Structure 1
Amino acid sequence: MAIYHLNAKIVSRSKGHRAVASSAYRCAVRLTNERDGITHDYTRKEGVLHSEIVLPEGVKADWAQDRSSLWNVAEFAEKRKDARVAREFEIAA
């Protein structure tokens, strides 16, 4: 019998979290946060089987297909120190 799991989290600047760092960690890639200049390198992390960017149907923005551009735009879009810059959904079956 399968046991399903769903966990939703908010990436909040007030807690010191960054969308770029979270994305780099979850996808096991190297990304640079253009807002503060910090490079997050998780290329040695193992166990990531699949990662993808899901966009609404009909979106033609090429920058949204690039992980680095997408999360840096999200970081720059929010100005407040307590901004919620991303949401993470963990789904397991």
Structure 2
Amino acid sequence: MAIYHCSTKTVNRSSGRTAVASSAYRSGEKLKDERTGLTHDFTRKDGIAHSEIVSNLDIEIDRGELWNLAEQSENRKDARTAREWVIALPDELDADQRKDLAKEFAQSLVDRYGVIADIAIHAPSKGGN
């Protein structure tokens, strides 16, 4: 049976988080934060089933460039540079259905708020969610 979970969090500098580091972790990629000079390498992180950028633009968007621009657009030390949605996708869905559901949700945010969304779908853990 599907268990519902949906939460939203903000990525705030005041809590020591950056949009670049958060995206690198969620997507399992290596991204350099141009503001701090730190490189966040999560390429060895297991369980990333799929990741992609969703937008209404007709260009390919680089994840590192996207989140570095988000960081550059804010000057305050307590700036909110991103919002993060954590949603439990039903175990009853196969991988393609999970991907479609996540993309549909992300596209609804893109259309409604005129933003760009970064999807990272994590595979269910072996011991369950």
| Superposition TM-score, scaled by structure 2 size | 0.65
Q: Which has the higher contact order (CA 8 A, sep 6+)?
A: 1
User: 1: distance between equivalents of 2:47 and 2:4?
Assistant: 19
Q: Return 5+ residue gaps in structure 2 as ranges.
A: 91-129
- Superposed structure 1 runs of 4+ greater than 6 Å apart: none
Q: Return 5+ residue gaps in structure 1 as ranges.
A: none
Aligned pair count?
A: 89
User: 1: distance between equivalents of 2:23 and 2:74?
Assistant: 17
Residues 61 and 80 from structure 1, CA distance in 2 versus in 1: closer, same or farther, beyond 3 angstroms? farther
1:70 pairs, out of 66, 69, 82, with 66
1:1-93 alignment runs, 5 A limit? 1-55=1-55, 57=56, 59-62=57-60, 65-92=61-88, 93=90
| Superposition TM-score, scaled by structure 1 size | 0.89
Identity %: 58
Shift of 1:60: 3.6
